């Protein structure tokens, strides 16, 4: 009797192993579907704050590259922006051309100064016509270059060079503006 149970247990275990082995690997792997429908037309929200830009950072995601402009103290309803593709980036006030590398250029304006409005002291250590400090784009699929265009009359202007004119979205969080640029126009990463 004991030998019969052992035999049946062995047969059952082998059968279960065959069933698991028969499931194709594709069925167990999750696929990523990237968001679509962002478009490439200008996006903006009217608002303004006297809180200052203190940092710009980037991140890589499966479907897009992300740029974040930090404005600590700014509330969501106070933080405005205007983001659009431009043929060339020109500095506010002077009209000076700021060269930005890449196949297309996104102009990012955040309605917050990069200086302390009371003292005029810089709050973000960037220099006009230079790459954004602390931003390293090595390994990014979409981002190619960043440039600081300046801060004029309470607005901070940045240039973001991307691989091509790709769909993007802009999000506002409590104290930051987020710009996501898709890796492609399609729905796959």
Measured CA to CA, the distance from residue 37 to residue 98 in angstroms comes to: 30
Measured CA to CA, the distance from residue 78 to residue 166 in angstroms comes to: 28
Q: Is residue 26 part of a domain?
A: no
Q: Is residue 33 part of a domain?
A: no
Q: What is the pLDDT along the chain (189 residues), one digit of tens a residue?
A: 545 555 444 444 444 444 444 444 444 455 678 877 899 999 999 988 889 999 999 999 999 999 999 999 887 778 999 999 999 999 988 899 999 999 999 999 999 999 999 999 999 999 999 999 999 999 999 999 999 999 999 999 999 999 999 999 999 988 999 999 999 998 666
Q: How many domains does the chain have?
A: 1
Q: Is residue 36 part of a domain?
A: no
What is residue 35's predicted lDDT score, i.e. its pLDDT? Answer: 78
Cut 0.95: pTM above it = no
In contact, 143 and 182? CB cutoff 8 Å: no
What is the span of the domain harbouring residue 68?
A: 43-182
Cα 65 off chain centre by = 4
Q: What is the CATH number of the domain that holds 90?
A: 2.60.40.3500
Q: 12 is written with which tokens?
A: 């059952």
């Amino acid at each position: 009797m004991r030998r019969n149970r052992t035999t049946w247990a062995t047969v059952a275990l082998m059968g279960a192993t065959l069933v698991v082995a028969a499931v194709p690997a594709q069925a167990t792997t999750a696929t990523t579907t990237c968001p679509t429908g962002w478009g490439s037309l200008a996006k903006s929200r009217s608002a303004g704050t006297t809180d200052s830009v203190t940092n710009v950072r980037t991140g890589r995601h499966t479907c897009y590259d992300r740029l974040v402009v930090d404005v600590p103290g700014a509330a969501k309803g106070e933080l405005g922006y205007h983001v659009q593709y431009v043929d060339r980036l020109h500095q506010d006030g002077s009209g000076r051309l700021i060269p930005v590398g890449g196949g297309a250029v996104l102009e990012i304006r955040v309605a917050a100064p990069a200086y302390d409005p009371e003292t005029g002291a810089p709050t973000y250590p960037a220099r006009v016509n230079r790459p954004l400090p602390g931003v390293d784009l090595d390994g990014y699929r979409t981002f190619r270059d960043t440039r600081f265009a300046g801060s004029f009359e309470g607005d901070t202007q940045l240039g973001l060079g991307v691989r091509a004119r790709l769909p993007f979205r802009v999000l506002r969080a409590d104290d930051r503006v987020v710009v996501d640029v898709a890796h492609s126009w399609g729905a796959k990463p």
